[in-house]
Amino acid sequence: MHHKLPHICPLNHSVQHLQLVCYCSGGVQGDGSVASLAPPETEGVEKECSRKRGRSNSCSKAENKACRERQRRGILNNRFLELSSTLEPDRHATTDKFAMLGDAIRVLNQLKSETQDFKETIEKLSEEIKTLKSEKKELREEKLVLKAEKAKMEQQVKSMTNNIPPPGFMAPHPAAFQAGAPKMPVFPGYGYIPMWQYLPPSTCDTSHDHELRPPAA
């Protein structure tokens, strides 16, 4: 009786022989795979996976940069909208940035001209204030002078009123006329004042009147 021997593939036999040799030398891993004898197809797959991981990292960086750019543009657009609403509160907000910049330039020029006008007005008012202050000082000095003159005139009037007799006062009657030195009344009610002592004797001589002053024809 002939017994059939199992067919052994020479390739499988060589692989098993290599696994055994690697196991003995410590090159076989716990799952029975040979680490040092990895086929070249496996190495290509690993390289491709590592390349994909690098590509995903670069994609994430580009996405982050794009997100930051979108955020920056959004903030810039919001600022432009605030500028438009500030320049023209009654007008509907527009997204035309060139129009916004034109409005901003126009408003700035207008504010600049108004500021210049205000400066000129302030200078004129300052000059007027200086003039008014000088006039006020002059008026104050004139007031002091008039006050002093008023006090002086009041003093004079007071001294004059002290010398005037009261209303019920009656002057005494003049004394009786007596013959003697010639007298001439100066003011009625104040008596007579003798005048002859003031004239020289030659003036009272009338003996040469017909020679000095002939009678008129």
Give the pLDDT confidence of 40-51 residue by residue, as tens digits. Answer: 444 554 555 555
Contact 181, 196 (CB under 8 A): yes
Higher pLDDT, 139 or 171: 139
pLDDT above 90 for 63: no
> Considering only 49-58, 83-92, 178-187, which range has the smallest mean pLDDT?
178-187
Give the pLDDT confidence of 13-32 residue by residue, as tens digits. Answer: 444 544 544 444 444 444 44
Alpha-carbon torsion 113, 116, 122, 125, what sign?
negative
Q: How far apart, in Å, do the first and last CA atoms of the chain sit?
A: 229
Higher pLDDT, 148 or 3: 148
pLDDT above 70 for 150: yes
Instruction: Report if residue 34 sits inside a domain.
Output: yes
CA distance 74 to 168: 108
Element (H, E) at 193: strand 192-194
Q: What is the pLDDT of residue 197?
A: 56
* Average pLDDT over all residues of the chain: 70
Q: What is the pLDDT of residue 38?
A: 45
Residues whose CB is less than 8 angstroms from the CB of residue 97 and which lie 6 or more positions away in sequence, other chains included: 80
Instruction: Report if residue 21 sits inside a domain.
Output: yes
Give the pLDDT confidence of 78-102 residue by residue, as tens digits. Answer: 888 888 788 777 777 677 778 888 8
pLDDT above 70 for 39: no
Instruction: Report if residue 199 sits inside a domain.
Output: no
Higher pLDDT, 11 or 178: 178
Instruction: Report if residue 178 sits inside a domain.
Output: no
Instruction: Report if residue 74 sits inside a domain.
Output: yes
Instruction: Report if residue 169 sits inside a domain.
Output: no
Question: Whole domain around residue 27: which residue ranges?
Answer: 10-95
DSSP conformational letter for 185: E
Structural domain count of the chain: 1
pTM summary value? 0.36
Instruction: Report if residue 142 sits inside a domain.
Output: no
Instruction: Report if residue 203 sits inside a domain.
Output: no
